[in-house]
Amino acid sequence: MRTENRLKVYCETSFWSFLNGGNTPLEHIAIKQSATLRWWEEFATKCDIFISPYVADEAEVGNPERATMRKQSMAGCVSLDGSDEDTINLAEALIVGHAVPESESTDAFHIATAAVKGMDVLLTWNCKHMANPVTLPKTAAIITKAGYACPVIITPAEFIERREEFGYGK
Q: Residue 4 above 90 pLDDT?
A: no
CA distance 28 to 44: 23
More confident residue, 82 or 153: 153
Angle at which helix 136-145 crosses helix 85-96, to 10 degrees, equals 140
Range with the lowest mean pLDDT among 32-36, 121-125, 141-145, 165-169? 165-169
**pLDDT band for position 168 (cuts 50, 70, 90):** confident
Fold of 7-163: Rossmann fold (3.40.50)
For the chain, the domains span 7-163
Beta strand 7-11 with 78-79 is unpaired
CB 139 within 8 A of CB 27: no
Angle value at C-alpha 72, between 66 and 78, nearest 5 degrees: 125
Residue 2, pLDDT score: 42
- How far apart CA 148 and CA 47 sit, in angstroms, is 21
Q: How confident is the model at residue 125 (pLDDT cuts 50, 70, 90)?
A: very high
CA 85, CA 5: separation in Å to the nearest integer? 30
* 39-63 residue pLDDT tens: 999 999 999 999 999 999 999 998 8
